[in-house]
Amino acid sequence: MRRNPPLLVTAFAVMLSTQCISSLFAQADAGAKTAAGGANRLQAEPPSGPRDGNGAFRSKQYRDLFAENGKAPAETQAKVQKAFQQLFHGDAQTERVYFEAGSNASGPLAYITDWANNDARTEGMSYGMMIAVQMNKKREFDALWNWANTYMLITDPKNPNVGYFAWSMNTDGTPRSTGPAPDGEEYYAMALLFAARQWGSGEGLYNYQAQAEKILRGMRHHPVVTETGPFRIHPEDKPFEYDDTMFQSPNKTERLQAEKDIAIELKGEGKTPPVKPARFGGAGVGRSETTGPMLEEEHAMVRFVPNVGPGFTDASYHLPAFYELFARWGPTEDREFWARAADVSRTLFFKVTGPNTGLSPDRNSFDMTPIPGWDGKPVPFSYDSWRTVSNWSVDYSWWHKDPNETVLSDRIQSFLAGQGISMFVDQYTLDGKPLSTRHSTGMLAATTVGGLAATPGRNEKAFVEELWRTPIPVGDQRYFDGMLYLMSMLHCSGEFRVIDARSTP
């Protein structure tokens, strides 16, 4: 999820005609464990085995961490169903994040809202679709996918991001950004591939396999395009110009206070507080933007944003468990790339995390070295970073290809347990200095998924028990906390699975 502005670089780029851009998307449519405090020394890979690894993809056996902790499967299922019902169909003011919004020619429309930021995001929309396909909720899945295509899909050929999905929209379908965040595209593609195997592909928008392949082709083969803002989502829209005064939310109030506190601290150190750029994307009048693929070909990594020029990546965007499936089910011409990207992501996880904490940065360079944040300090562990432990642990569960993922899960669970399992905060420097005071359910939930890779024992069991007794999120923060809570409940219960009709009993 893009929580900071893109790095906009004016660069020489190939100008492609509208016809060329349209042609590209038309074609797409057709188609040795170390100690917890040890240095980050990569363990040697075991001797080469089957390409499918030795995890759940091959065995079809998924661990139920709750059952391993003595919980009855029926009790777990009831807990998961209650969470879905509350977050998707509960009280509108305090509980749910899923809202239906009428219908159009393609069927019902619905969105997932980030209640604390008053918007709908590709992150949440794609998470909602993933939850729906895992829980066999086709109506909700289709309604979310329809809303995403109706409002978020960029169709204006004069927007250099044409073919991608705008990462943030108002819930009435008007824009709060005119550019994408790749984590949304990744989850859209994976959810659609699962849907094709869960329900079979239909026609047009609901030809799930073709829609997934369109997204994956665009991620790697989007043309390099330069245009001058302001931009639109659809050709008939008014030009979008960001106006921060239009957007009010609980999170904005908290963020502005935090920035004020940081500025006071920097002044006390004799430093000049930097001017932080606008939070939401959208080039202004006369400002050019050059956009290309979401994937960095040389490094086989996902970019933070697809703007051409010096860029960086976000460890929480790296999804090797999904990349292995893209390498099997995605466009044939890109399968080798995705297999390589899975291996690169595993190496990245180990290299960028704190050697004593297992904490990952919100962003890092393509060479896996730290980058400075807007305050001049190395980018810390923050909101996006919560998800990284879940990413490598699901990879371990499904594929079992990298023993270093066990090392990482042991490290982060040990560090956070030492901070107090019911009180650790949700932002840290990578060496473990607290940067906030809030304890967040979403971070707890994602760290509990770490048990799928961690060494079974006290810490792993303590996290499972803590998640079990944690209530379903409600109130202003129920969006990110709630989505991570529900997906983590599915992971930890063994019910978030590779859906493949050809091999599922």
pLDDT tens track for 126-155: 999 999 999 999 999 999 999 999 999 999
Mean pLDDT of the chain: 88
Q: Which residues pair with 227 in a beta bridge?
A: 289
Which pLDDT belongs to residue 215?
A: 98
Residue 280's pLDDT band, with cuts at 50, 70 and 90, is very low
From the candidates 95, 114, 119, 123, which is the catalytic residue? 123
Output 17 or 468, whichever has higher pLDDT: 468
pLDDT above 80 (res 396): yes
Peptide bond into 230 cis (omega under 30): yes
398-414: pLDDT as tens digits? 999 999 999 999 999 99
Residue 265's pLDDT band, with cuts at 50, 70 and 90, is low
Residue 27's pLDDT band, with cuts at 50, 70 and 90, is very low
Which pLDDT belongs to residue 248?
A: 59
Which pLDDT belongs to residue 260?
A: 60
Which pLDDT belongs to residue 135?
A: 98
pLDDT above 70 (res 251): no
From the candidates 314, 324, 384, 426, which is the catalytic residue? 384
Euclidean distance between CA atoms 357 and 355, whole angstroms: 6
Which pLDDT belongs to residue 344?
A: 98
- Burial group, residue 248, by CB count within 10 angstroms (0-12, 13-18, 19+): exposed
pLDDT above 70 (res 13): no
Euclidean distance between CA atoms 107 and 142, whole angstroms: 8
294-309: pLDDT as tens digits? 999 999 999 999 999 8
Exposed e or buried b per residue across 300-330, where buried means at least 16 C-beta atoms within 10 angstroms of its C-beta:
bbbbbbbbbeebbbbbbbbbbbbbbbbbbbb
pTM: 0.87
Of 42-46, 141-145, 162-166, the poorest mean pLDDT is in 42-46
Output 243 or 141, whichever has higher pLDDT: 141
Task: Name all domains of the chain by residue range, CATH numbers in brackets.
Answer: 1-30+119-230+278-308 (1.50.10.10), 43-105+312-505 (1.50.10.10)
Is 68 one of the catalytic residues? no
Residue 61's pLDDT band, with cuts at 50, 70 and 90, is very high
The mean pLDDT value for 95-114 works out to 98
447-482: pLDDT as tens digits? 999 999 999 999 999 999 999 999 999 999 999 999
Is 384 one of the catalytic residues? yes
Q: Which residues pair with 300 in a beta bridge?
A: none
Of 30-44, 148-162, 262-276, the poorest mean pLDDT is in 30-44
